[in-house]
């Protein structure tokens, strides 16, 4: 049961400080977590760990093209595209029942980044126009839920706008 004034927002799990990154580390965003304090109930998701890739694991990158990117390991070229997509399609259905009103994604991640993720074409050139596979499936499934990357929320104006949009979404979709 959720407190009346608390927004339930999904987040890339490494941003909360959980050691789920490929190297066993995390990317705790203290500024963001401290700023939101009691106003948010976080729902953590790590697509790569939840899809069964384990920690630590070989780092991955997006390759090919923006319309049909593939997620492959950097050194050995193992293709995890289908495993990640299958997981993502199942996870967004589960998340529907939690009535999220926003999601904070980890920038530059081939699974979680929202925009400008490194994406290497056939010539090995980084196009920097990729979208993380999980983030893409999430936005297709929840086209109206406000989403942001963590570093943009360090700007107080963008943070305020994000929280207002999340509260509006919550009021109109979950509390009507
Ligand atoms: S960026 Fe996403 S996939 Fe990578 S460690 Fe963080 S939550 Fe997991």
Residue 20 lies in a domain: yes
Q: How far is the CA of 112 from the centre of ligand 1 (A)?
A: 6
Whole-number Cα distances in Å, 123 to 25, 61, 70, 91, 169: 31, 15, 15, 33, 42
Run of H or E including 73: strand 70-73
Residue 1 lies in a domain: no
pLDDT the model gives residue 43 = 98
pLDDT the model gives residue 175 = 78
Residue 91 lies in a domain: yes
Residue 126 lies in a domain: no
109 Cβ closer than 6 Å to some ligand 1 atom: yes
103-112 exposure pattern, b = at least 16 Cβ within 10 A, e = fewer: bbbbbbbbbb
pLDDT, tens digit (0-9, with 9 covering 90-100), for 63-74: 998 889 999 999
pLDDT beneath 50: ranges in the chain:
none
pLDDT the model gives residue 81 = 98
Run of H or E including 33: helix 30-36
pLDDT the model gives residue 1 = 56
Residue 29 lies in a domain: yes
Ligand 1, atom nearest to 20 Cα = 5
pTM of the predicted protein model: 0.96
Residue minimizing CA distance to atom 6 of ligand 1: 14
pLDDT the model gives residue 5 = 79
Residue 118 lies in a domain: no
Which three-class secondary structure state does DSSP give residue 52? coil
Residue corresponding to tokens 């799990």: 13
Number of compact structural domains in the chain:
1
**Residues 6 or more apart in contact with residue 148 via CB below 8 angstroms:** 102, 103, 104, 105, 114, 158, 162
Range of the domain at 52: 7-57+84-110+131-173
CATH number, position 95: 3.40.50
Q: Which two tokens stand for residue 6?
A: 């608390």
Environment class of 41 (CB within 10 Å of its CB; exposed 0-12, middle 13-18, buried 19+): middle
Which residues are bridge partners to 61 per DSSP?
A: 72
Residue 16 lies in a domain: yes
Residue 65 lies in a domain: no
């Amino acid at each position: 049961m959720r407190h009346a004034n608390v927004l339930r927002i999904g987040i890339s799990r490494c941003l909360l400080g959980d050691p789920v990154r490929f190297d066993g580390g995390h990317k705790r965003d203290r500024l963001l977590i401290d700023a939101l304090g009691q106003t948010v109930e976080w729902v953590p998701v790590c697509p790569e760990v939840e899809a069964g890739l384990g920690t630590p694991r070989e780092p991955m990158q997006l390759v090919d093209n923006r319309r049909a990117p593939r997620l492959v390991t950097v050194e050995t070229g193992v293709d995890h595209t289908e495993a990640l997509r299958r997981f993502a399609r199942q996870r967004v259905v589960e998340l529907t029942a939690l009535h999220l009103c926003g999601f904070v994604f980890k920038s530059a991640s081939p699974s979680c980044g929202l925009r400008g993720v490194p994406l290497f074409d056939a010539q090995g050139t980084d196009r920097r126009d990729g979208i993380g596979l999980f983030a893409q499936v999430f936005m297709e499934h929840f086209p109206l839920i406000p989403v942001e990357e963590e570093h943009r929320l360090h700007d107080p104006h963008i943070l305020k706008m994000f929280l207002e949009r999340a509260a509006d979404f919550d009021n109109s979709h979950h509390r009507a």
